[in-house]
Chains A and B, each alone.
Chain A
Amino acid sequence: MTDPTTIDRKSRIRDFIVAKLLNGRAVGDDENLLLSGLIDSLGVFELIAFLEKSFGLTIPLDEVVLENFTSIDTIDAYVATKQA
């Protein structure tokens, strides 16, 4: 995908995660953020707050599931479905 909005979206998600949750630690887009312990539940909800604010979403609780928040790729894909 080379759609510029996609690139923009994913990089914004990545920037937030790296800057706010990982304190600058580099992370691969497909790296597992949760099972590796990089981000925990509190971090996920901080991320959710960021996604809701930045992309104008409302994320219902029943969509806060492991599958949607495993990695930067899955988060980006999830946001894309919410925006569609």
Chain B
Amino acid sequence: MHDVDDHSTPTPLTRAQEVLWTGQQLAPDAALYNMGWRFDLLQVIDPDRFVAAFEAIVARHDALRLVFAAGPDGAHQQAGGAVILPEVIEMSGSADPDAAATAWVDARVRQPFDLARCAYDTALLKLGPAHWVWYFSQHHLATDAAAAALVFADVSKAYAGETVELAPSFLAHARAAEADDLTTARAHWQGAPGAATPTPLYGGAAATSPASTRVDVPLSASVQAALAKACADPATRVFSPQLTEVALLLTAFAAFVHRVTGDERVSIGAPAHNRLTPQARQTVGLFVETFPLDIDVAPDDTFITLFGKVKTALAGYLRHARPGAGSAAAAKRISAVFNYITASFGDFAGGPARVTWLHPGAHDPRHGVRLHAMRFDGAGLALAMDINDGLGGKTETAQIPQHFTRVLETLLTAPETRLGHVPLCAESEAMIAHGTGSDEDAIALILDRIATQPAEAIAVREGAMHLTYAHMRTRAATYNARLAAQGVTPGDRVLVHCHRALDLIPALLGILSRGAVFVPVAANTPEARVREIAGLASVVAIISDARCHRTTEPLGKPTLTLGDDTPIDPTQAAERAAGDTAYAIFTSGSTGTPKGVEVTHDGLARYIAWAAYAFGGTEPADYALFSSLSFDLTLTSIFAPLTTGGTVVVYPETGASDLAILDVFADDAVDVVKLTPSHLSLLCAQGTSVTRIRTLVLGGENLTTALCHQAHKTLSPSLTIANEYGPTEGVVGCMIHRFDPTADTGISVPIGRPADGVQITLRDAGLSPVPFGVVGEICIGGRLARGYLDRPDLTAGRFVDDPHAPGRIYRSGDLGRLLPNGVFEYLGRADDQLKVGGVRIEPAEIDAALRQVPGTRAVHIHAATPKAATKACIRCGLPNSYPGVSFRDDGVCEICASYDSYKDRAQSYFQTPQILTDKIEAAAGKSTGAYDLIMLLSGGKDSTYAAYRVAEHGKRVLALTLDNGYISEGAMGNIRRVADDLGWDHRFMQTEAMNAIFVESLKAHSNVCQGCFKTIYTLALRVARDEGVAAIVTGLSRGQFFETRLTPELFNDRDPGVHEIEHLVDTARRQYHAQDDAVSRLLCADDLRDGAVLDQVSFIDIYRYIDVPVSEIYRFLGERARWIRPEDTGRSTNCLINDVGIYVHNTREGFHNYALPYSWDVRLGHKTRDEAVDELNDEIDVDRVTAILGEIGFDEAVAGKGRLVAYVVADDGVDLGQLWDALRAHVVPEALPTDIVLIDEIPLTPNGKVDAARLPSPTRDRSEARAAYRAATTPEEEVLTGIFSEVLGLPRVGVDDNFYDIGGDSLAAIQIAILANEAGLGVPATAVFEHPTIARLARAASEATPAPRTPSTSLIDLDEDDLAGISRALS
């Protein structure tokens, strides 16, 4: 059947082969696509006859002789490979022939193929007279399971002496492939809504090594029975019994992948056999092609609801799984594979045989797990998994098959179970992580421990003052006596509201001695909150200081003054039980109402015993007391030193914004400092190096590795950095990790392992422990707070009985993950999780950054889907899917309405043809080379007509066209003819980076035009500069002027005048070239960044000076010019790639990228409304778009990018610019929301949740107008201009330039603040984040009341919010 002449002809690879070829190129030495088989022939074999049979079969299948090579047009294949005959290997003499054979085949199947020589391998092993093993392996490029079965059958027949028919040619198939119309199928796979990047299974870093292990997935008799029952159940029957089995297994696998990734959209790759005809079924070769099944999975799905979704996904899959329809984007979103293999091998030449599919020890590293469901020879179902070795250690990965079977079994036997509640681990107890040490002896109460410290050692020090332990104990006893005198009895609560001071320590001990409960509230707490807490805690007495009396006096409670020296007889400490409450700390609840966390003496003592040893060791260690008294982090610095004979060194508040941490480091007089990451950021920015301070304990916020590295660099290379995790409810700290600069490579520092006496588990929605790598809620057992003060309801919700083990656990609401090395990782608050495209993103960053903007009252981050257009403007045809434009009641859009009011004022921008002549003459006079002018000639009607008008001036013109690789033939012809007609020199500009530029432009702007424009301007400016041409003429249309320059905002109640507009245009152009974006980097455009070239070369936009109706342009071109309207592109372009931009823009942004330009064409009379609407509705050839996306190497799913909208409720006067500034300051670009919408209130459902349906559509304004250059006018501005220039290394900075747009980053912001303070401008360190232009910063500086300063503390002025901001900005 096949034509022998074909053999020598190189044949392109099929789509399926290309995918494998590419994968193999990425891992050239890995055997990841080796399809190896072990056939145990349990009979007497004649080796010579066997070899002859094999040789005969090789001749029959061209796929067995395929060789592959890379070529200029991609890889190709031909049938010229070497014929390898099976070597006969004697193993029967071995002690264990079977084991020897196993070792041999396992090693052999891991050897990569030399694809240029031969793509198969074979051998015949003799294990015994009647037991032979035929080893046969092929590269997947030339085979699949069905093909292997064909080869087996043919060799069997030939060996038996039967006639073997000639087989169909694979190469003929390869050449005929893709003859079908694949438009619909490709659109399905390309357009299927895929996640941007799926979360790797078990949280593994995207695996880099293909090494993998195959393990059997044992199916218990009960699971098999349940599966058989479900297959027979009419309720779950799908078409055929086989498809039913596939659907059932897929449902379980989708649920499994969902559970071990957390993704709510999973894309499971499933190979389709693609042997659709009997002929294909007889052909050896690769037919299988893998397509993704995109399935939305929610934690609340049950087996039943998920099964419905799987059925729908399967139908879409079966409909569109056409050979050649796959794409790179479709392959990229696959994170796991489900492979259902049926192949019949049968007996061998009438004798018994057994088949084993060998694993080559590697598979595509993108697929964490591949599940194979195999039915060979009609045998029962067998499951196996290939598991990437990078997912975890051997012990961990060995559990993975059981996780899947647990899901399968639960779904089949308890189909009502919600997926979030399906237990993954068989042994819950085994998943509990215990602190290693015992804290039994810590039961000794804290006061008893303090009592044993040496009397003369220094317990507390503040500046020159100090208290010995003996002094401290005596003073504590006097506080006890004073409290008793005020009627305080054991169990009463005492408010401590004062500044940090030497005497605070004995005061706290005095309260504990009294058997009372201290309720600490920092001095800088707002009065209302102090009152609220005093009320909630029903305090009976207060300890305060003179400065805080103003707040505490109105509370009307007996009050002791700190430092009171009135003589009083000390009182003996009261009896205390371990279970009595020691303190209550108030935290802000999610509702904003403070809630008090009650901690017992036992809890405090056990925490301190652990912490003191963990941070300070056994020697006495000195700690700095500098942090807020309201914060339980501070308790460590008070009690840990006192239980080891160390000293509490007190650093008092330094003003309204408490910067005592700077004093601690300036002093460098303690051993241990416990602080927040924000504190640490600040210290690193200050850069004070230390020698004595040796241990930093970080708590209260997420800690990044970057910050730790920075601390080692700037503070001290020998610092021990301990990351402590723990909610107040878990008594200050319950987990710890010591930062290891080499081992800790993630973004965040892990939270490590449990503290002594603490048990940590990660739990799913059903409170079942989850295994390694799976995200779960951090639940704490062991040492816990008693609960919430007087709030049994809240306590019952969070402190619950562990359903899987004896005892109580606290549900932290924090998410975590257990890494394979046994340490835990912190992943943020469960409440703040948000998914875009089904994949988790971190909106907390966006939220926090927005909340820092003064006047922001509420923020909600929402993942939005674009809304389809429902109407279009009755005048211009702009559809209402265009974001941010409202429509009047009469159906006219806002832009048309406002254009009416300002079009007369806008006319001043347009000038006379005489001015054009003047400009051209001036440019010609300035030009120094062979040309007077450069004309940008796109070949379209506007630029062609413009060219003829330029030609009237009789200058020496060089016409330039960007050849982006997709200019239509028709347009090319026009360009050549026109240049020829005008007698101009013409050049095509090119760049090797063009395709990469398209890709970046599509990713950043969802269109191709932005990338092209930047390329044209960049390349043309270089030509002009290098050849001494003074002006570049463009054919920008009047519509484009209005769209980009003469915008409604500019004319809002004012008349900017021609000079202001020109100035704006010039500034915008300079910033355009100064911008360091992906495209300019691809063009290496550093040479243009300083804008000097724009002083030499000017732009002349010809349609500013001539006004021509479009009909006149067509008439002119038709009659005079040799211009023919291109017919090989869409209607409005010369460019074949334009449709790609339109398609991507439509899909990602929900509207046509020409919607606004066309509306301007209509407004200006260059198009009718009907023409515009018609063009916007033009069908896009998705097949061609898909092909081009492949050509340029676009590697994202088109629909993959979600839209993230930030809704903000803010006071009047807060504008979008400020909000964007805050976001750019604190959030990495990838995590920026697509839009910010200012709204009056966040709509809620009756249940009190955000009502997404009532959130308004996003407005779209990410690029607020860029400012014109404006020089400094005030002394403050001048000083700041100098500082900005120095820090940012820029020769010129305008006072309205945005700090971030001119290359500023967070560190630069802090540097600027420090220099500004040195220069006498009192601005806080975060001022640059809030006021990112010189003008605004100068205003803020002059408005700020200069605070009294001392050199060590007032370099910069920060408060808690600033600290948090800096921390985020630096992280």
Q: A20-B277, A25-B278, A61-B311 are in contact. Are A45 and B240 (CB under 8 A)?
A: no
Q: Mark A45-61, 1 if CB is under 8 A from B, else 0.
A: 11011000000000001
> Which of the candidate stretches B313-321, B816-824, B1185-1193, B1338-1346 sits at the interface with the other chain?
B313-321
Least distance between B446 CB and chain A CB atoms (Å): 68
Cβ–Cβ contact B274 & A42, under 8 A: yes
13 contacts between A and B (CB under 8 A): A22-B277, A23-B277, A23-B278, A41-B242, A42-B273, A42-B274, A44-B318, A45-B315, A49-B319, A61-B312, A61-B315, A65-B239, A69-B239
Cβ–Cβ contact B240 & A46, under 8 A: no
Q: Which A residues are CB-close (under 8 A) to B464?
A: none
Looking across the interface, which residue of chain A has its beta carbon closest to that of B311? A61
Q: Mark A12-41, 1 if CB is under 8 A from B, else 0.
A: 000000001111010000000010000011
A20, A22, A44, A46: which contacts B239 (Cβ < 8 A)? A44
Q: In the complex, given contacts A20-B276, A42-B272, what are 10 additional A-B residue pairs having Cβ atoms less than 8 angstroms apart? A: A34-B240, A40-B240, A41-B239, A41-B242, A41-B243, A41-B318, A44-B239, A48-B319, A49-B319, A61-B312
Considering the chains assembled together, what is the distance between the CA atoms of A61 and B312 in angstroms?
A: 7
Considering the chains assembled together, what is the distance between the CA atoms of A15 and B278 in angstroms?
A: 15
Confirm or deny: B657 has a beta carbon within 8 angstroms of a beta carbon on chain A: no
257-273 of chain B: CB within 8 A of chain A: 272-273
Confirm or deny: A7 has a beta carbon within 8 angstroms of a beta carbon on chain B: no
Confirm or deny: A1 has a beta carbon within 8 angstroms of a beta carbon on chain B: no
Cβ–Cβ contact B277 & A21, under 8 A: yes
Looking across the interface, which residue of chain A has its beta carbon closest to that of B273? A42
Q: Which B residues are CB-close (under 8 A) to A34?
A: 240
Least distance between A20 CB and chain B CB atoms (Å): 7
Confirm or deny: B102 has a beta carbon within 8 angstroms of a beta carbon on chain A: no
Confirm or deny: A66 has a beta carbon within 8 angstroms of a beta carbon on chain B: yes
Confirm or deny: B94 has a beta carbon within 8 angstroms of a beta carbon on chain A: no
Confirm or deny: A80 has a beta carbon within 8 angstroms of a beta carbon on chain B: no
Q: Which B residues are CB-close (under 8 A) to A22?
A: 277-278
Confirm or deny: B279 has a beta carbon within 8 angstroms of a beta carbon on chain A: yes
Cβ–Cβ contact B315 & A64, under 8 A: yes
Q: A49-B319, A61-B312 are in contact. Are A42 and B276 (CB under 8 A)?
A: yes
Q: Mark B228-262, 1 if CB is under 8 A from A, else 0.
A: 00000000000110110000000000000000000
Least distance between B322 CB and chain A CB atoms (Å): 8
Q: Which A residues are CB-close (under 8 A) to B274?
A: 42
Considering the chains assembled together, what is the distance between the CA atoms of A51 and B321 in angstroms?
A: 17
Contact-size category for B: 10 to 19
Q: Mark B300-334, 1 if CB is under 8 A from A, else 0.
A: 00000000000110010011010000000000000
Q: A64-B239, A66-B239, A66-B240 are in contact. Are A43 and B319 (CB under 8 A)?
A: no
Q: Which B residues are CB-close (under 8 A) to A43?
A: 276
Considering the chains assembled together, what is the distance between the CA atoms of A46 and B277 in angstroms?
A: 11
Q: Which B residues are CB-close (under 8 A) to A48?
A: 319
State the 7 A-B residue pairs at the shortest beta-carbon distance, nearest first.
A45-B318, A23-B278, A61-B315, A23-B277, A45-B319, A23-B279, A41-B243
Considering the chains assembled together, what is the distance between the CA atoms of A69 and B278 in angstroms?
A: 19
Q: Which B residues are CB-close (under 8 A) to A44?
A: 239, 318
B residues lining the A interface (CB < 8 Å): 239-240, 242-243, 272-274, 276-279, 311-312, 315, 318-319, 321
Q: Which A residues are CB-close (under 8 A) to B239?
A: 41, 44, 64-66, 69
Cβ–Cβ contact B321 & A42, under 8 A: yes
Chain A, interface SS category: helix
Q: Which A residues are CB-close (under 8 A) to B319?
A: 45, 48-49
Cβ–Cβ contact B277 & A42, under 8 A: no
Cβ–Cβ contact A41 & B240, under 8 A: yes
Least distance between B947 CB and chain A CB atoms (Å): 48
Q: Which A residues are CB-close (under 8 A) to B243?
A: 41
Considering the chains assembled together, what is the distance between the CA atoms of A41 and B278 in angstroms?
A: 14
Considering the chains assembled together, what is the distance between the CA atoms of A22 and B274 in angstroms?
A: 14
Q: Which A residues are CB-close (under 8 A) to B311?
A: 61
Q: Which B residues are CB-close (under 8 A) to A69?
A: 239
Looking across the interface, which residue of chain A has its beta carbon closest to that of B185? A49
Considering the chains assembled together, what is the distance between the CA atoms of A21 and B319 in angstroms?
A: 15
Q: Which A residues are CB-close (under 8 A) to B278?
A: 22-23, 25
Least distance between B793 CB and chain A CB atoms (Å): 47
Considering the chains assembled together, what is the distance between the CA atoms of A42 and B270 in angstroms?
A: 13
Considering the chains assembled together, what is the distance between the CA atoms of A64 and B315 in angstroms?
A: 9
Q: Which B residues are CB-close (under 8 A) to A45?
A: 315, 318-319, 321
A21, A25, A61, A65: which contacts B276 (Cβ < 8 A)? A21
Considering the chains assembled together, what is the distance between the CA atoms of A69 and B240 in angstroms?
A: 11
Least distance between A23 CB and chain B CB atoms (Å): 4
Considering the chains assembled together, what is the distance between the CA atoms of A31 and B273 in angstroms?
A: 24
Least distance between B293 CB and chain A CB atoms (Å): 13
Q: Which B residues are CB-close (under 8 A) to A40?
A: 240, 242, 273
A23, A25, A42: which contacts B318 (Cβ < 8 A)? A42
Considering the chains assembled together, what is the distance between the CA atoms of A63 and B712 in angstroms?
A: 67
Considering the chains assembled together, what is the distance between the CA atoms of A23 and B173 in angstroms?
A: 14
Q: Which A residues are CB-close (under 8 A) to B315?
A: 45, 61, 64
Least distance between A77 CB and chain B CB atoms (Å): 18
Looking across the interface, which residue of chain B has its beta carbon closest to that of A46? B276
Considering the chains assembled together, what is the distance between the CA atoms of A65 and B240 in angstroms?
A: 8
Considering the chains assembled together, what is the distance between the CA atoms of A49 and B929 in angstroms?
A: 65
Looking across the interface, which residue of chain B has its beta carbon closest to that of A61? B315
Least distance between A61 CB and chain B CB atoms (Å): 5
Q: Which A residues are CB-close (under 8 A) to B242?
A: 40-41
Q: Which A residues are CB-close (under 8 A) to B321?
A: 42, 45
Considering the chains assembled together, what is the distance between the CA atoms of A57 and B1081 in angstroms?
A: 52
Q: Which A residues are CB-close (under 8 A) to B272?
A: 42
Looking across the interface, which residue of chain A has its beta carbon closest to that of B280? A23
Considering the chains assembled together, what is the distance between the CA atoms of A40 and B272 in angstroms?
A: 11
Q: Which A residues are CB-close (under 8 A) to B276?
A: 20-21, 42-43, 46
Considering the chains assembled together, what is the distance between the CA atoms of A28 and B1331 in angstroms?
A: 82
Question: Which of B273, B276, B318 is packed against the most chain A CB atoms within 10 Å?
Answer: B318
Least distance between B238 CB and chain A CB atoms (Å): 9
Q: Which B residues are CB-close (under 8 A) to A61?
A: 311-312, 315
Looking across the interface, which residue of chain B has its beta carbon closest to that of A45? B318
Least distance between A42 CB and chain B CB atoms (Å): 6
Considering the chains assembled together, what is the distance between the CA atoms of A58 and B1198 in angstroms?
A: 27
Least distance between A3 CB and chain B CB atoms (Å): 30
Considering the chains assembled together, what is the distance between the CA atoms of A20 and B278 in angstroms?
A: 9
Considering the chains assembled together, what is the distance between the CA atoms of A69 and B242 in angstroms?
A: 15
Q: Which A residues are CB-close (under 8 A) to B318?
A: 41-42, 44-45
Considering the chains assembled together, what is the distance between the CA atoms of A41 and B240 in angstroms?
A: 8
Considering the chains assembled together, what is the distance between the CA atoms of A12 and B1018 in angstroms?
A: 60
Considering the chains assembled together, what is the distance between the CA atoms of A3 and B279 in angstroms?
A: 35
Looking across the interface, which residue of chain B has its beta carbon closest to that of A64? B239
Looking across the interface, which residue of chain B has its beta carbon closest to that of A38? B278
Considering the chains assembled together, what is the distance between the CA atoms of A64 and B317 in angstroms?
A: 14
Considering the chains assembled together, what is the distance between the CA atoms of A46 and B311 in angstroms?
A: 17
Considering the chains assembled together, what is the distance between the CA atoms of A44 and B274 in angstroms?
A: 12
Q: Which B residues are CB-close (under 8 A) to A25?
A: 278
Least distance between B187 CB and chain A CB atoms (Å): 14
Considering the chains assembled together, what is the distance between the CA atoms of A21 and B279 in angstroms?
A: 10
Least distance between A60 CB and chain B CB atoms (Å): 9
Considering the chains assembled together, what is the distance between the CA atoms of A66 and B234 in angstroms?
A: 12
Looking across the interface, which residue of chain A has its beta carbon closest to that of B319? A45
Considering the chains assembled together, what is the distance between the CA atoms of A45 and B312 in angstroms?
A: 13
Considering the chains assembled together, what is the distance between the CA atoms of A44 and B277 in angstroms?
A: 12
Q: Which B residues are CB-close (under 8 A) to A23?
A: 277-279
Considering the chains assembled together, what is the distance between the CA atoms of A65 and B418 in angstroms?
A: 28
Q: Mark A67-84, 1 if CB is under 8 A from B, else 0.
A: 001000000000000000
Least distance between B16 CB and chain A CB atoms (Å): 14
Least distance between A32 CB and chain B CB atoms (Å): 12
Considering the chains assembled together, what is the distance between the CA atoms of A19 and B277 in angstroms?
A: 9
Looking across the interface, which residue of chain A has its beta carbon closest to that of B282? A23
Least distance between B988 CB and chain A CB atoms (Å): 44
Question: Which of B274, B278, B279, B312 is packed against the most chain A CB atoms within 10 Å?
Answer: B278
Considering the chains assembled together, what is the distance between the CA atoms of A64 and B274 in angstroms?
A: 20
Considering the chains assembled together, what is the distance between the CA atoms of A49 and B315 in angstroms?
A: 12
Considering the chains assembled together, what is the distance between the CA atoms of A64 and B312 in angstroms?
A: 11
